Chain A
Amino acid sequence: DAGVTQSPTHLIKTRGQQVTLRCSPKSGHDTVSWYQQALGQGPQFIFQYYEEEERQRGNFPDRFSGHQFPNYSSELNVNALLLGDSALYLCASSSYSSNQPQHFGDGTRLSIL
Chain B
Amino acid sequence: AQSVTQPDIHITVSEGASLELRCNYSYGATPYLFWYVQSPGQGLQLLLKYFSGDTLVQGIKGFEAEFKRSQSSFNLRKPSVHWSDAAEYFCAVGVRNTGFQKLVFGTGTRLLVSP
Contacts and interface: CB of A to CB of B under 8 A. Distances in A.
Interface of A: 4, 31, 33, 35, 40-45, 48, 50, 55-56, 58, 90, 92, 94, 96, 99, 101-107, 109
B103 interface: yes
Interface in B18-40: 34, 36
A43 B90 contact: yes
Interface of B: 4, 34, 36, 41-46, 49, 51, 90, 92, 94, 97-108
A92 B101 CA distance: 12
Given A42-B108, A43-B90, A56 B36 contact: no
Contacts of A31: 100
A67 B43 CA distance: 21
Contacts of A56: 97, 100, 102
A104 B44 contact: yes
A94 B101 CA distance: 10
Contacts of B44: 43, 90, 92, 104
B90 A33 contact: no
10 contacts: A33-B103, A42-B106, A43-B44, A43-B90, A92-B44, A96-B99, A96-B100, A102-B103, A104-B36, A106-B42
Among A40, A50, A102, the most chain B Cβ lie within 10 Å of the Cβ of: A102
A25 to B, nearest CB: 13
Contacts of A102: 101, 103
